[in-house]
Each structure stands twice: as C-alpha cells, then as structure tokens.
C-alpha cells in the first residue's frame, strides 16, 4: 500500500529524505524536521494507512512495539527525564500528515537546560508554558542538528542491540 500524494510514502519511505534512525521490513523511525524538542521521533508503518481507524491490527501492533523498544534508547541518547508519546487522528486533532504515525518526544524536568544537539547545557524549549501547560511549540531543525541527534540515537540503539 503506497499513496503517491503522501509525503511519508513518497519522500521518506521511497526516497529516504529523512534522518532515519531505525528501519525494518514493516516500520520506520525518523527525526521530525520540525521538532517540539531535539530527538523528536516519528514512527510509521511503511504501508500507507491514514490514521488509527484505518490501520490494520498487525501493522498497528508492529508500530506500537517499535515505539516501546525505542523509548529507553532515546531517553539514554538524549539524556532526558521523560517522554511524551502521541498520535493524532484527523485535521481537527492536529494530524498534519495523513499517514498513521506516532510521536516520541523527549522531555526534561529542568525547564531550560538539556542536552540538545549543541551538547550538554544547550537551551531547550521551556517545558511548561506560562499558563502551566506543556509546551508544544515546534522549531525548525537544521540538517546538521538532525544528523547529530540521529547519530546519537543510532549509537544508543546499536549499544542496546536494537538495530
């Protein structure tokens, strides 16, 4: 199943235009080019499904299994304190790309200091917004930032024998 109008199908799966950190025969994990935080990953099935209502159970379980396997290595690689796991279904729920995907977003308890792509002590987004909610503001990552973060995550995955 392939949708030529889908950016994930055509650009990521087919042309590999993403910083891919993990791939097997049915799933793929790559860095979001507009991350909420450094290390923000998207996990997708390689087959095209629009959302949770569309995906078959077998592919759903493979994606969810990969999400679980990736969490600890991402936390180790990014030296973060926690993670958000999210999945949006439909435009009103903020689904932008209509290909089923799960977000894994590293989070730090310290609202200003983390280990962003610039290394220890790099400034991160403020964890809590002024109104007391989690910050979901996105930033534009450079290709250099994505390569460095991708390298760190792949090294941790290899160390954990996931890849």
As annotated, the active-site residues are 101
d(CA 115, CA 80): 8
Q: 3-class DSSP state for residue 24?
A: coil
Strands (E), 16-129: 20-23, 27-31, 41-45, 82-86, 102-107, 113-114, 122-123
Tokens of 160: 């954990």
Name residue, tokens 């055509």.
Answer: 10
- On whether the CB atoms of residues 113 and 121 are closer than 8 A, the answer is yes
């Amino acid at each position: 199943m392939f949708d030529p109008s889908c950016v994930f199908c055509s650009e990521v799966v087919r042309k590999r235009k993403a910083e891919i950190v993990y791939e097997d025969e049915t799933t793929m994990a790559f860095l979001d080019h507009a991350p909420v935080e450094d290390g923000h990953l998207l996990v997708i099935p390689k087959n095209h499904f629009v959302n949770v209502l569309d995906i078959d159970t077998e592919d759903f379980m493979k994606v969810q299994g990969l999400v679980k396997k990736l969490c600890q290595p991402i936390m180790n690689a990014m030296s973060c304190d926690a993670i958000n796991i999210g999945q949006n279904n439909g435009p009103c729920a903020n689904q932008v790309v209509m290909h089923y995907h799960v977000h894994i977003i590293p989070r730090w308890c310290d609202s200003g200091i983390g280990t962003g792509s610039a290394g220890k002590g790099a400034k991160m987004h403020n964890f809590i917004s002024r109104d007391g909610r989690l910050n979901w503001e996105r930033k534009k990552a450079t290709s250099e930032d994505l390569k460095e973060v991708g390298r760190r995550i792949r090294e941790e995955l290899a160390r954990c024998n996931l890849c």
